[in-house]
Structures are given as structure tokens and as C-alpha cells.
């Protein structure tokens, strides 16, 4: 029997989550960021779920996801309903969860070849 390595169709995967950040591939990222299967946007403007401005959401839209997962840190914190409506009005699914759940969900959906983007809020 011959065994061969099958490379995935995506570049990025979450390998761990801690209070100080998220491990993407072999790097610990300790500032808020956006992650797609093939794109990493570091230093995302959104750092607090209570104050999302339009520029934070525009950065998400620029990645053209069909689903956006928002990781809100150690605990799940829902944004104001108008922010959920922002995505739903554009036909983009929107889910909110803590960072650990967001990382797991992102990995599963990326492995399935889904057009997913995850945003991770990292407290400083």
C-alpha cells in the first residue's frame, strides 16, 4: 500500500486558542484579526464588540464571505441587533461565539471548502 500526503485546499488553520491570542498555523496572533481559508488580515480595527464602526465591517465585506463567524474573546458577547442585520441584509450568514468555538467552527468549514471568514477579538 502506498501512502501519500494530501495537501488541503486552504492555507490557514487555527491550531489553538488562549487568553492571549489564537495560534494560526505555527504563529500566535495576539491582536484582533480576520481569517479566511486563504487570507489572514492582521490588526483588524475591531477590538471591542461594543464599538464596531462601519470600517470594521467593511474589512469583512472586502473578503466576500458567505458566512462570517465573530469570535468575541473568552466569552460569547452578542453585538447590537443592527450589526447582525448589517450582514443578513447582504445575504451573509452571521454567527457569534467565543474564540475557541469560532476557531473550531472555522476549521471545520474551511476543511469543507466553504467560503467562511472568522473575526477574532483579542483583548489587550
For the chain, the 3-state helix, strand and coil shares in percent, each to the nearest 5, are 25, 25, 50
Cell of 56: 470594521
Domain 22-120 sits in which CATH superfamily?
Answer: MTH938-like (3.40.1230.10)
Sheet of strand 33-36: strand arrangement: 39-41, 33-36, 116-120, 67-71, 93-97
Cell of 17: 486558542
pLDDT score, position 102: 98
Exposure pattern of 50-68 as b/e (b: 16+ CB <10 Å)? Answer: eebeeebbebbeebebebb
Could you give the 3-state DSSP secondary structure of residue 57?
helix
Per-residue pLDDT tens over the stretch 76-97: 999 999 989 999 999 999 999 9
The mean pLDDT of the chain is 90
- 99 vs 9, higher pLDDT: 99
Amino acid at each position: 500500500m502506498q501512502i501519500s500526503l494530501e495537501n488541503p485546499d486552504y492555507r490557514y488553520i487555527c491550531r489553538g486558542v488562549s487568553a492571549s491570542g489564537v495560534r494560526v498555523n505555527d504563529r500566535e496572533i495576539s491582536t484582533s484579526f480576520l481569517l479566511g481559508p486563504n487570507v489572514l488580515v492582521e490588526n483588524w480595527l475591531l477590538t471591542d464588540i461594543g464599538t464596531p464602526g462601519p470600517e470594521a465591517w467593511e474589512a469583512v465585506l472586502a473578503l466576500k464571505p458567505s458566512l462570517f463567524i465573530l469570535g468575541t474573546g473568552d466569552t460569547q458577547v452578542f453585538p447590537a441587533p443592527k450589526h447582525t442585520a448589517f450582514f443578513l441584509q447582504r445575504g451573509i450568514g452571521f454567527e457569534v461565539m467565543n474564540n475557541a468555538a469560532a476557531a473550531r467552527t472555522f476549521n471545520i468549514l474551511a476543511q469543507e471548502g466553504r467560503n467562511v471568514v472568522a473575526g477574532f477579538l483579542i483583548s489587550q
